[in-house]
């Protein structure tokens, strides 16, 4: 692959034991009309044990695989990866990114965090439009000493990044959050909403 | 002011001290879903909102501090493992126990890095250290020995020193950057106060539910409460009306403690009845008699007070919605270990009670209109 060799760890034990951490965000918008991704995410969330590292890693792999399979329906994408010298700084950045994304939802109708599953239903307003978007966000905190990648401008690069994530060493994964909207099947994210809340994503020409 | 009698209702959730000694997988981990009823009703009142609701899903877990390394026996306390001492300070007067009276720096972590045993393989192995001993003695040639010693000395030793040097440098830098704030005796007390238009009533239900459900006696619950309440605020920026934030850094646990208590008392004296409290895991509620003569409900006032380990104030004063957004984000993003005390106070607490525009002006004159 073209750029999957960008990760050049010094020594494995060193990276895992030092305080340098990397926070990575991968975000993909999918044309919701023809995508089975929404129900797949719900199913994965309900089935995964998020209280164990193995469960988290499994979730990461499944979601990444799901996104790669849906490549033909991607409409927008964005990714960033930053390294931090101190745990506290990495943790703060992770929290910040998570909060930013979560604030875009009006309610969290399904959550599975640290093994605790919660569900609730929101009364959906009848939708006039049928085509809309589904935005999936992956947030990772890993033990890498250098960013996982530099910048992502082409859709091919985005695919390569996701493949890099797929091949991640399980020991490196410290924190994971998968966020997606809309979660309820009777909702769609309109083009205007996508523009308002996810305006920083690059469109696929 | 007649307000004293009427301006009551409210909730105070106070959380006492948090002993910071746990592994705290907390920050990213726990979140209660926000209350069901809440956002639905928000939406109904938002008539003008062009956008419909956006349900979201969320799955995840883990922690930066529960990484494999903390279980590694060779690095006792370097990265925030379970042996890290607490520097906690307790909040306000209601907290019965104060784990570490003086708070502040207790133990400086040992330098990070492998123990000394670790060096030889790197230092000697590459330079054939087993060799010299055998060849030199059996061959009896002390010249060869000297040469090898010389080689070792000129090449090997500097490398070893460089290696050790790099290790100590690295770990020292790590401690300074990452941990010094946590272990010194400097604290920051921050206050974020937001007045919301009364149509954001749903946030009241939200907070009430959180106060009922969350266990405020644990560090995890505390963080969860802070993040969830900030998130509830961040989700309704269209209802923000007035705001006031402050962040002050003080030297010494005692000062931080008294500053926090002062701020808390200031807010709590602005209403006469605490109708719902959840402090240090103890809940209580009182009934409130609604005064039917009061005007229409106009505002809901929410105050967040946070005592943290930061050495610098967290944010400057805010004048706009964007600045308040940043301040709120800064607050809720702070690493788990930094949070020492958290308190959320809101009024009115009782759904039938109201806070009028006049009351807002008289009781909270310093707030800035957004």
Residue B79 located in a structural domain: no
Q: Residue B81: is its pLDDT beyond 60? A: no
> The tokens of B92 are what?
């306000």
Domain that holds residue B274: 3-46+184-369
Chain A residues whose CB is inside 8 A of the B81 CB are none
pLDDT, tens digit, 9 for 90 and up, residues A147-182: 999 888 899 999 999 999 999 999 999 999 999 999
For residue A111, give every residue at least 6 positions away whose Cβ sits within 8 Å of its Cβ, in sequence order, or none.
Answer: A45, A117, A118, A119, B31, B33, B57, B58, B59
d(CA A130, CA A128): 7
Q: Does A159 touch chain B (CB under 8 A)?
A: no
Mean pLDDT of B130-155: 49
Same domain assignment for residues B122 and B225: no
Q: Residue A62: is its pLDDT beyond 90? A: yes
Residue B175 located in a structural domain: yes
According to the per-residue pLDDT averaged within each range, which of B143-152, B190-199, B341-350 is highest?
A: B190-199
> The tokens of B329 are what?
């984000």
Q: Does B36 touch chain A (CB under 8 A)?
A: yes
**Residue linked to tokens 């005390």:** B341
Query: What integer pLDDT is reported at residue B36 of this predicted model?
Result: 32
pLDDT, tens digit, 9 for 90 and up, residues B213-271: 888 888 888 888 899 999 999 988 889 999 999 999 999 888 999 999 999 988 888 87
% residues pLDDT > 70 (chain B): 50
Of A110, A115, A140, which Cα lies nearest the Cα of A51?
A115
Cβ pair A110:B57 closer than 8 A: yes
Same domain assignment for residues B314 and B170: no
The last residue of one of the domains, among B133, B159, B182, is: B182
Q: Residue B83: is its pLDDT beyond 80? A: no
Q: Does A132 touch chain B (CB under 8 A)?
A: no
Query: What integer pLDDT is reported at residue A27 of this predicted model?
Result: 95
Cβ pair B178:A19 closer than 8 A: yes
- The answer to whether B194 touches B240, Cβ cutoff 8 Å, is yes
Residue B355 gets which letter from DSSP? B
Tell me which of B169 and B24 has the higher pLDDT: B169
Q: Does B333 touch chain A (CB under 8 A)?
A: yes
Secondary-structure percent of chain A, ordered helix, strand, coil, rounded to 5 = 40, 25, 35
Helix (H, G, I), strand (E, B) or coil at B99: coil
Q: Does B57 touch chain A (CB under 8 A)?
A: yes
**Residue linked to tokens 């307000």:** B3
Query: What integer pLDDT is reported at residue A53 of this predicted model?
Result: 92
Same domain assignment for residues B342 and B241: yes
Mean pLDDT of A41-70: 93
Same domain assignment for residues B298 and B267: yes
Residue B321 located in a structural domain: yes
Same domain assignment for residues B307 and B360: yes
Same domain assignment for residues B147 and B274: no
Q: Residue B158: is its pLDDT beyond 70? A: no
Q: Find which of B45, B60, B118, B209 to mutate to test the A interface (most A CBs within 10 Å of its CB).
A: B60
Cβ pair B61:A176 closer than 8 A: yes
d(CA A160, CA A79): 12
Residue B287 located in a structural domain: yes
Cβ pair A86:B178 closer than 8 A: yes
Mean pLDDT of A61-82: 93
Q: Residue A137: is its pLDDT beyond 80? A: yes
Q: Does A71 touch chain B (CB under 8 A)?
A: no
Give the β-pairing of B55-62 and A107-113.
Answer: parallel
pLDDT-derived band of residue B151, with 50, 70 and 90 as boundaries?
Answer: low
Same domain assignment for residues B222 and B337: yes
In 10 A of CB A129, how many CB atoms?
A: 10
Residue B224 located in a structural domain: yes
Q: Find which of B62, B65, B115, B310 to mutate to test the A interface (most A CBs within 10 Å of its CB).
A: B62
Cβ pair A87:B38 closer than 8 A: no
Query: What integer pLDDT is reported at residue B295 of this predicted model?
Result: 67
How high is the mean pLDDT of chain B? 63
pLDDT, tens digit, 9 for 90 and up, residues A74-115: 999 999 999 999 889 999 999 999 999 999 988 888 988 888
Residue B76 located in a structural domain: no
Nearest CB neighbour to B33, from listed A92, A108, A114? A108
Residue B195 located in a structural domain: yes
The last residue of one of the domains, among B133, B164, B182, is: B182
- ipTM of the prediction greater than 0.90, yes or no: no
Chain A residues whose CB is inside 8 A of the B45 CB are none
Q: What is the maximum alpha-carbon separation in chain A?
A: 55
Q: Residue B172: is its pLDDT beyond 70? A: no
Query: What integer pLDDT is reported at residue B206 of this predicted model?
Result: 83
Query: What integer pLDDT is reported at residue B253 of this predicted model?
Result: 87
Same domain assignment for residues B263 and B360: yes
How high is the mean pLDDT of chain A? 87
Same domain assignment for residues B343 and B202: yes
% residues pLDDT > 70 (chain A): 89
Q: Residue B85: is its pLDDT beyond 50? A: no
Same domain assignment for residues B213 and B298: yes
For residue B285, give how far its alpha carbon lies from the nearest alpha carbon of chain A (Å).
26
Nearest CB neighbour to B27, from listed A21, A91, A127? A91
Query: What is the Rg, in whole angstroms, of the alpha carbon atoms belonging to chain B?
Result: 28
Same domain assignment for residues B155 and B169: yes
**Residue linked to tokens 């990070």:** B112
Q: Residue B40: is its pLDDT beyond 80? A: no
Interface size between A and B, measured as CB pairs under 8 A: 232
The last residue of one of the domains, among B182, B215, B231, is: B182
Residue B100 located in a structural domain: no
Q: Where are the beta strands (DSSP E) in chain A?
A: 21-31, 74-84, 107-113, 116-119, 133-142, 173-181, 202-203
pLDDT-derived band of residue B41, with 50, 70 and 90 as boundaries?
Answer: very low
Contacts with B, A 72-131, CB within 8 Å: 85-96, 98-100, 102-116, 118-125, 127
Mean pLDDT of B332-342: 89
Q: Does A169 touch chain B (CB under 8 A)?
A: no
Same domain assignment for residues B35 and B167: no
Q: How many domains does chain B have?
A: 2
Of B347, B33, B359, B361, which Cα lies nearest the Cα of B204?
B347
pLDDT-derived band of residue B29, with 50, 70 and 90 as boundaries?
Answer: very low
B296: burial class by Cβ within 10 Å (0-12, 13-18, 19+)? Answer: exposed
d(CA B164, CA B130): 22
Nearest CB neighbour to A88, from listed B58, B66, B335? B335
Mean pLDDT of B96-120: 29
Tell me which of B125 and B143 has the higher pLDDT: B143
- The answer to whether B226 touches B306, Cβ cutoff 8 Å, is yes
Least confident of A62-71, A128-137, A185-194, B23-32: B23-32
**Torsion B170-B174-B180-B182 (CA) sign:** negative
Chain B residues whose CB is inside 8 A of the A113 CB are 29-31, 58-61
Query: What is the Rg, in whole angstroms, of the alpha carbon atoms belonging to chain A?
Result: 17
Q: Does A144 touch chain B (CB under 8 A)?
A: no
């Amino acid at each position: 692959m073209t750029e999957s060799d960008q990760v050049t760890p010094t020594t494995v034990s060193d990276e895992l034991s030092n305080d340098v951490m990397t926070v990575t965000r991968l975000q993909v918008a999918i044309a919701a009309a023809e995508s089975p991704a929404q129900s797949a995410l719900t199913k994965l969330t309900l089935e995964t044990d998020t209280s164990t590292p193995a469960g988290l890693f499994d979730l990461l792999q499944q979601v990444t695989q799901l996104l790669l399979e849906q490549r033909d329906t991607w409409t927008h994408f964005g990714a960033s990866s930053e390294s931090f010298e101190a745990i506290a700084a990495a943790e703060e950045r992770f929290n910040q990114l998570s909060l930013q994304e979560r604030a875009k939802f009006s309610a969290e109708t399904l959550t599975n965090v640290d093994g605790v599953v919660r569900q609730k239903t929101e009364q959906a307003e009848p939708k006039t439009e049928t085509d809309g978007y589904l935005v999936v966000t992956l947030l990772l905190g890993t033990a890498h000493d250098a960013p996982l990648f530099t910048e992502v401008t082409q859709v091919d690069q985005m695919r390569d990044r996701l493949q890099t994530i797929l091949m991640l060493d399980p020991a490196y994964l410290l924190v994971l959050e998968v966020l997606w909207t809309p979660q309820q099947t009777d909702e769609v994210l309109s083009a205007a909403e996508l523009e308002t809340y996810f305006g920083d994503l690059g469109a696929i020409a | 002011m007649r307000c004293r009698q009427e301006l009551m209702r409210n909730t105070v959730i106070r959380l006492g001290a948090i002993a910071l000694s746990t592994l705290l997988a907390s920050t990213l981990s726990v979140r209660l879903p926000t209350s069901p009823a809440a956002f639905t009703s928000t939406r109904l009142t938002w008539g003008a909102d062009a956008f419909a609701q956006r349900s979201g899903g969320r799955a995840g877990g883990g922690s930066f501090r529960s990484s494999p390394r903390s279980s590694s026996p060779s690095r006792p306390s370097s990265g925030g493992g379970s042996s890290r001492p607490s520097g906690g300070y307790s909040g306000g007067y209601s907290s019965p126990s104060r784990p570490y009276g003086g708070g502040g720096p207790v133990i400086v972590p040992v330098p990070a890095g492998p123990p000394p045993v670790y060096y030889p393989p790197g230092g000697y192995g590459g330079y054939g250290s087993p060799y010299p001993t055998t060849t030199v003695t059996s061959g009896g040639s002390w010249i060869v020995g000297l040469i090898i010693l010389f080689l070792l000395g000129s090449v090997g030793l500097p490398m070893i020193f460089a290696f050790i040097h790099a290790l100590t440098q690295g770990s020292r830098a790590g401690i300074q950057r990452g941990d010094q704030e946590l272990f010194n005796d400097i604290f920051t007390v921050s206050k974020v106060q937001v007045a919301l238009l009364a149509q954001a009533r749903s946030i009241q239900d939200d907070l009430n539910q959180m106060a009922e459900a969350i266990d405020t006696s644990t560090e995890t619950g505390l963080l969860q409460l802070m993040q969830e309440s900030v998130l509830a605020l961040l989700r309704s920026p269209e209802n923000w009306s007035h705001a006031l934030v402050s962040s002050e850094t003080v030297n010494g646990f005692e000062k931080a403690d008294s500053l926090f208590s002062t701020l808390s008392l200031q807010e709590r004296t602005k209403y006469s009845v605490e109708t719902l409290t959840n402090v240090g895991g103890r809940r209580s509620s009182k009934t409130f008699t609604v005064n039917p003569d009061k005007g229409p409900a106009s505002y809901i006032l929410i105050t967040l007070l946070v005592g943290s380990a930061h050495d610098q104030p967290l944010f400057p004063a805010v004048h706009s919605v964007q600045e308040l957004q940043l301040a709120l984000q800064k607050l809720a993003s702070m690493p788990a270990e930094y949070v020492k005390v958290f308190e959320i106070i809101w009024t009115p607490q009782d759904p039938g009670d109201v806070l009028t525009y006049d009351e807002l002006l008289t009781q909270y004159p310093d707030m800035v209109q957004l």
